[in-house]
Structure 1
Amino acid sequence: MTGRATDARRAAVLGAPIAHSLSPVLHRAAYDELGLMDWSYDRFETDEAALPGFFGELGPEWAGLSLTMPLKRAVIPLLDEISETARSVEAVNTVVFTEDGRRVGDNTDIPGIVAALREHGIQQVESAAILGAGATASSALAALSRVCSGEVVVYVRSAARAAEMREWGDRLDVEVRTEDWADAGDALRMPLVVATTPAGTTDALATAVPERPATLFDVLYEPWPTELAARWSMFGGAVVSGLDLLVHQAVLQVEQMTGITPAPLDAMRKAGEQALAAR
């Protein structure tokens, strides 16, 4: 384990709504496992309008912030620097405050998706599908640029969303083809399917799961399993959950904020599983 000296430090997750966030559970479990007894991690309900004021009140004890919707883009003007990964999707979910007072933004969702897939044995696929075209879909597409060697087919509900995803494909150097959501059942025969839609959206697709499905990555973790994930598992397909993503992106956040590597993946995952089971 490598790391730096640690005095009392603070970190938190910001967003709106935020009460449901598992981030405090995961980060606090990491601090316990790493022996960082003087570290704290909280949650604050914060929208775009309140974000600059929140930043203005932060003292030198702050080590970092996790950001969820709707702040991932709104935070960028408040930062001194953002990583190439964050810039690629214009979304920051991690802010680290350096010892010299700089505010550095990063996106751990993208490498988190890649790490979760690799943990389940997915190193590379020839093609993939994305269900949905919201904020998470662009991060999924960026992750697939590292995993998928060929075409990514995105299933969307509107021509505007289709155009946005094709633009993201051009920016990320990914071959993107868009199809209408009415044909989303066709996606389920692909080597890798990434579902990025809100709860309930893919339930109607469960009956279209093929007899021998490949891999489904469903970014939801509550409620879990989704109807699609349950049916996928029943037919013997591999399923990667939103909790897998949440844990892997949080591991990277802990490492960046504390300077200690590796972060305790297993302890963080166990804490997340226990918290979800208790809900």
Structure 2
Amino acid sequence: MPHRTPDWLLERIALGELPPEELAAARARLATEPGGLERLAKLEADDGATLAKLPPSQVAAEVERRRRVVDASRSLSASTPPRRWLPAVALGLPVAVGLALLMFVSQRELPEEPRPQQAVLLETTRTKGLEPKLLIHRQTAGAPEPLVDSARVHAGDVLQLSYVSGGRPYGAVLSVDGRGSVTLHAPEPPTGPLELKGGTVPLPSAYALDDAPAFERFFFVTSDEPFDLNALMESARELAREPERARREPLPLPPSLSQTSLVLEKGPRT
């Protein structure tokens, strides 16, 4: 029988919650399985849609919780020698499983805060096939609607933005619109670049589109090193001064910064 990556391991691959060597090996095995990468893509899409359903207060609480787990993990890794990651069978129900379940069962009570010695390292590393990306869902009366590049939107639509870091440690999310305005969505407050987390991470606050014409283009900028957020915003303002360029051209950034973007076409409601 062909090898099939178990669901619990697939969740960790999607969340980036494996040490670098384990993550690279797990993704390589997944790529050789029939339908393996399709399973991963579906899980990531379902994860983003589920997170988009949560109220902003619960999303913010979960983001803060993950930050504390990562901080505890970093403290642990700095004070103890390296050791191999243990599978879920050996640990019972480790912290990583609790976080994955929380994203799929949003009404359950949050599990106990992990003790440092139990924390699973959440550091991520870029690997082949794992790239930074931005996810956008439109809130509707039913399930959140995932939006793709060039999707049609309207003034008043409420959007939930999420990112996948692809192993980059620093980043920022911003947008430019057809009126030439620039909006910084993360970090908040804008004191420096956002320290990115692993997995699919929703921004704490949803974003309501205003009546700016034509389009809204969202950028996710990432870097291996801290960068000047003010310089990034000035580059965005420079591009936004010419709306037609802002609609299709990349931000004028140094080679040390990478970017991905998604354009939403704005129009009247029918």
The two structures have a TM-score, normalised by structure 2, of 0.23
Task: Please state which structure has a larger fraction of its residues in helix.
Answer: 1
